[in-house]
Amino acid sequence: MTSQRTRNRLVQRLRQSGIEDEQVLMVMANTPRHVFVDEALAHRAYEDTALPIGHGQTISQPYTVARMTEVLMQGGPLRKVLEIGTGSGYQTAVLSPLVDKVYSVERIAPLQKRAQQRLRQLQLRNISLKLSDGSWGWPEAGPFDGILAAAAPEVIPQALLDQLADGGRMVIPVGGEQQTLMLITRDGDNIERQALESVNFVPFLPGLLR
């Protein structure tokens, strides 16, 4: 269930669901999702579904990872990307081959530690991880050409808007019980917001869990 053939079937399902970016599809085919789930769930790693990773968190559905990555990359090559919510590290691993540098923050220490081990195992060397409240972003490393969030705030934190570079793109779910995936773009001082589709993410929570 962890073979390349199984991954290729997943990519075929992603194509049928509307993912068109061949570079994103190639990365999805080459990223071993089974590494990012508990061993007991490895047989389900290439189903197009979210799976639990502990601490009330999930590894996102592959379609969602591919869709958010595709939208983020549609503006052209990205040098620096900030990821809010490292979680299992799967989305981080998908971003790694597509951009120059990934900065990823996670508020739950045990998840961050496991993600760090997995990303090292895969020898992905253009990733920096930090234990941090996602609403703070990573100001000392910004501004960022791209920001991608794996949790839904009811209102986008101002710090994240401030850390988006001119011409940058942010892909983030927003809302409470009803959430919408949003594309935020910056043109100078002008912030544009585009609603993309309904989604269902864990809530964007404050504070650190050690």
Question: For residue 56, how far is the Cα from the chain centroid?
Answer: 17
The pLDDT of residue 26 is 97
Q: Catalytic pick from 3, 17, 60, 96? A: 60
Average pLDDT, the chain: 95
Give pLDDT tens digits for 94-143: 999 999 999 999 999 999 999 999 999 999 999 999 999 999 999 999 99
**198 is annotated as an active-site residue:** no
Structure confidence at residue 207 as a pLDDT band (50, 70, 90): confident
Least confident range from 56-60, 61-65, 203-207: namely: 203-207
Tokens coding 174: 């927003």
**CA dist., res. 6 & res. 12, Å (int):** 10
Structure confidence at residue 32 as a pLDDT band (50, 70, 90): very high
Q: Using CB atoms within 10 Å of the CB of residue 173, give its burial: 0 to 12 exposed, 13 to 18 middle, 19+ buried.
A: buried
The pLDDT of residue 100 is 98
Strand, coil or helix: what is 171? Answer: strand
The pLDDT of residue 98 is 98
More confident residue, 63 or 5: 63
Does position 3 have pLDDT exceeding 90, yes or no?
no
Q: What percentage of the chain carries pLDDT values higher than 90?
A: 91
**CA dist., res. 125 & res. 32, Å (int):** 16
As a 3-state breakdown, the chain gives helix, strand, coil percent values, each rounded to 5, of: 35, 30, 35
Give pLDDT tens digits for 137-177: 999 999 999 999 999 999 999 999 999 999 999 999 999 99
The pLDDT of residue 205 is 87
Give pLDDT tens digits for 61-100: 999 999 999 999 999 999 999 999 999 999 999 999 999 9
Give, rounded to a whole angstrom, the gap between the first and last alpha carbons of the chain.
Answer: 34
Mean pLDDT for 191-201 is: 95
Does position 1 have pLDDT exceeding 60, yes or no?
no
Structure confidence at residue 2 as a pLDDT band (50, 70, 90): low
Task: Report pTM.
Answer: 0.95
